[in-house]
């Protein structure tokens, strides 16, 4: 099944993250309204007797680019998928603009949240144009002109030549496929974009180019982004704030420079130390 999007922005820094009894906060340039774009409240997730996430609380403001990094199996992808209802917590609430997703129609919710994942997840039997137009077609019904405008707009924004419209996924490069995936995730103009290691399957040069593109798209559109990565450099480069997780708990939620200069736990310190050793 294919899940897709919504979009928008403002630059600031403020909100709070609670992990157990610990509170993490960051300064902002905009006043707190009391209603967050995305909020996790007392989340618990378990598979049988194995607890994955315990007492997880996080508030994300509109327009933030939150990168999420941590050890394998720490719950990064799980908390991402909770936002569009692909994973349902055992207990706790996920709120979008102050409203619990339990009260929402999940099909409508998923059409209004962009979702981009690692590798090529395009429909192989559809052209680039039809892949990008998939969700706008569902929303716009018979308004083909509106859908065509959306396709042209997002192809231009993600840096895809118009001549690629009629090509199939197998006829374009891996980097172009990732750009098509991003354009498709954004084509319905969502306010939220979820990205799960979207650049993990491409070479380093293409990866760097795609990082530049998503940073530019964030600046230009103001979309709220949650971005899972295993790469600390990517997390620090892209995030307006970085969430570091380990064993289902938030270790630190702060500005990139705060993570680098004032790691909050031994786990965060080890993560930064590995980055420094690798760089040297």
Number of independent structural domains in the chain: 1
Where in the chain does DSSP place strands (E)? Answer: 15-19, 22-26, 38-47, 50-60, 65-70, 91-96, 99-100, 113-117, 192-196, 224-228, 241-246, 249-254
Instruction: Report if pTM > 0.95.
Output: no
> Please, which residues have CB within 8 angstroms of residue 111's CB and are 6 or more apart in sequence?
4, 5, 135, 138, 139, 188
C-alpha span between 93 and 55 (Å, rounded): 11
Judge whether 9 lies within some domain. Answer: no
Judge whether 26 lies within some domain. Answer: yes
Q: Is 265 helix (H, G, I), strand (E, B) or coil?
A: coil
Judge whether 2 lies within some domain. Answer: no
Judge whether 19 lies within some domain. Answer: yes
Judge whether 171 lies within some domain. Answer: yes
Judge whether 3 lies within some domain. Answer: no
Structure tokens at 88: 């349902």
Per the rule left: phi > 0, alpha: psi between -120 and 50, beta: everything else, 159 is: left
Supply the range of the domain harboring residue 175.
15-279
Per-residue pLDDT tens listing for the chain (280 residues) = 333 333 333 223 323 333 333 334 333 333 445 689 999 999 999 998 899 999 999 999 999 999 999 988 899 999 999 999 999 999 999 999 999 999 999 988 998 899 998 866 899 999 999 999 998 988 888 788 999 999 999 999 998 999 999 999 999 998 899 999 999 999 988 999 999 998 887 888 888 999 999 999 999 999 999 999 999 999 999 999 999 999 999 999 999 999 999 999 999 999 988 766 555 5
């Amino acid at each position: 099944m294919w899940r897709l999007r919504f979009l928008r922005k403002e630059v600031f820094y403020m909100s709070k993250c609670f992990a157990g009894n610990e509170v993490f906060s960051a300064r902002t340039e905009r006043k707190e309204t009391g209603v967050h774009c995305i909020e996790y409240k007392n989340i618990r997730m378990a598979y049988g007797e194995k607890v994955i996430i315990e007492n997880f609380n996080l508030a994300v403001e509109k327009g933030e680019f939150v990168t999420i990094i941590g050890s394998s199996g720490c719950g990064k992808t799980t908390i991402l998928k909770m936002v569009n209802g692909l994973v349902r917590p055992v207990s706790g609430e996920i709120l979008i603009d102050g409203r619990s997703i339990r009260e929402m129609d999940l099909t409508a919710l998923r059409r209004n949240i962009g979702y981009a994942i690692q590798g090529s997840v395009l429909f192989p039997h559809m052209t680039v144009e039809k892949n990008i137009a998939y969700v706008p077609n569902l929303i716009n019904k018979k308004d083909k002109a509106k859908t065509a405008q959306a396709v042209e707009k997002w192809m231009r924004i993600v840096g895809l030549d118009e001549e690629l419209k009629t090509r199939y996924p197998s006829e374009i490069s891996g980097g172009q496929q990732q750009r098509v995936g991003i354009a498709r995730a954004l084509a319905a103009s969502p306010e939220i974009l979820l990205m799960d290691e979207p650049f993990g399957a491409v070479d380093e040069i293409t990866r760097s180019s795609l990082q530049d593109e998503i940073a530019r798209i964030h600046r230009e559109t103001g979309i709220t982004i949650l971005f899972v990565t295993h790469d600390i450099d990517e997390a620090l480069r892209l995030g307006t704030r970085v969430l570091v997780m380990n064993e289902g708990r938030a270790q630190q939620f702060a500005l990139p420079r705060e993570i680098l200069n004032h790691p909050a736990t031994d786990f965060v310190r080890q993560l930064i130390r590995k980055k420094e050793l690798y760089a040297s």
